[in-house]
Amino acid sequence: MASGGIGQVYGHTTNPKVATGDGVAMAYRIGADIKEIEFVQFHPTALYEPFASSTFLISEAVRGFGAELKNKSGEKFMYNYDARGSLASRDIVARAIDAELKNTGENCVYLDCTELNQADFSMHFPTIKNTCLQKGINVQNDWIPVIPAAHYGCGGIKVDKDGRSSINNLFACGECAQTGLHGANRLASNSLLEAFVFADKAANKSAELIEQIVLPINIPDWNDEGTIISKEMVLISHNRVELQQMMQNYVAIVRSNIRLERALKRVKLLYDETEKLYQSSKISPQLCELRNMITVAYLIITHSLQRKENRGGFYNTDLV
């Protein structure tokens, strides 16, 4: 299994549209151990675009270069949360922005690059400059609207040092796997290293074992007798958006028991509705993805409720 991340479970994510957690959900359904899925890393500064399901990343190097986070009134609010201001670490900045948005009721905060040397900025961050420009933001004069967005899933299908899951002969690597290497939070750029190392290990181990494996030959064809082509795509698209909003509001950067319990009730409702649809309709990629996203959401919520300690990317106000 090498199906990538789970970011699409959230309303704001830097992940591509395919990051719907299919591998984690499929593995869970056949009984694989899933571990530390509650540790979701949020990138503090993704470009805020109200209707985009995947958002463009404004690298943290931009803050390292001197850009300042400000709220709508121009206040450098980060100093209310940490003495390092905009240069505080990823988790602290993401949590501070989350608190600021909840306190002010605004949709985004801003990254002010207007005071920076623009020639140097263009040289160091040409893609950011051009992407912003395409969206009508000239960083020389305009503040960049930003929000925190789900960026990396530290947990997933639990594997050993050879990439073996708890299911016989099922290997996993990359973002869908939990190797233990990232702990409670991933350090920037460790994910690609992990993916390479564990893909190599998993490939070598499976090559060793492949001769001994007897593959089942009588896998029946998919039987969709008695199911119909649903003319109600809105049921799928609406539930996807509802799930993403619910996860963004209740199970994102800052969690609490009451929000998690509320989320659990909502996700069960979405599960019942979607399973009914799954049993009665001809399957489609959209329906399968929704079903998988609901499973991943359920796992994040239940694992969060079980966790009794704040650590790394996990923060529950009831555990402070």
Ligand X SMILES: Cc1cc2nc3c(=O)[nH]c(=O)nc-3n(C[C@H](O)[C@H](O)[C@H](O)COP(=O)(O)OP(=O)(O)OC[C@H]3O[C@@H](n4cnc5c(N)ncnc54)[C@H](O)[C@@H]3O)c2cc1C
**Interface residue list for ligand X (CB under 6 A):** 2-5, 14-15, 18, 22, 57, 152, 174-176, 189-192, 195
Report the nearest approach of ligand X to the CB of residue 47 (Å).
Answer: 11
**Min separation Cβ 159 and ligand X, Å:** 12
CA 310 – CA 317 distance, rounded (Å): 9
User: What single-letter amino acid sits at 128?
Assistant: I
Q: Closer to ligand X at the Cβ: 22 or 100?
A: 22
Q: Residue 103: which residues within 8 A CB-CB, separation 6 or more?
A: none
DSSP, collapsed to helix, strand or coil, labels residue 57 as strand
Catalytic residue among 63, 90, 164, 259: 90
Q: Which strand (E) or helix (H) includes residue 102?
A: helix 90-104
Q: Smallest distance, Å, CB 211 to ligand X? A: 26
Contacts 24+ apart (CB under 8 A), 61-68: 61/124, 61/125, 62/111, 62/113, 62/125, 62/128, 63/87, 63/93, 63/111, 65/116, 65/120, 65/121, 65/124, 65/125, 66/115, 66/116, 67/111, 67/112, 67/113, 67/116, 68/111, 68/112, 68/115
Active site residue 90: yes
User: 133 vs 187, which CB is nearer to ligand X?
Assistant: 187
CB of 253 to ligand X, least distance (A): 17
Query: Which residues have a Cβ under 8 Å from the Cβ of 211 and sit 6 or more positions away?
Result: none
Residue among 86 and 178 whose Cβ is closer to ligand X: 178
CB of 128 to ligand X, least distance (A): 12
Q: Ramachandran region of residue 31, left (φ > 0), alpha (ψ -120 to 50) or beta?
A: left
How far apart, in whole angstroms, are the C-alpha atoms of residue 159 and residue 34? 9
Report which secondary-structure segment, H or E, holds 290: helix 285-306
DSSP secondary structure string for all residues of 148-163: EEEEEE--EEE--TTS
We find the least distance from the C-beta atom of residue 13 to ligand X, in angstroms, to be 8
Active-site positions read 90
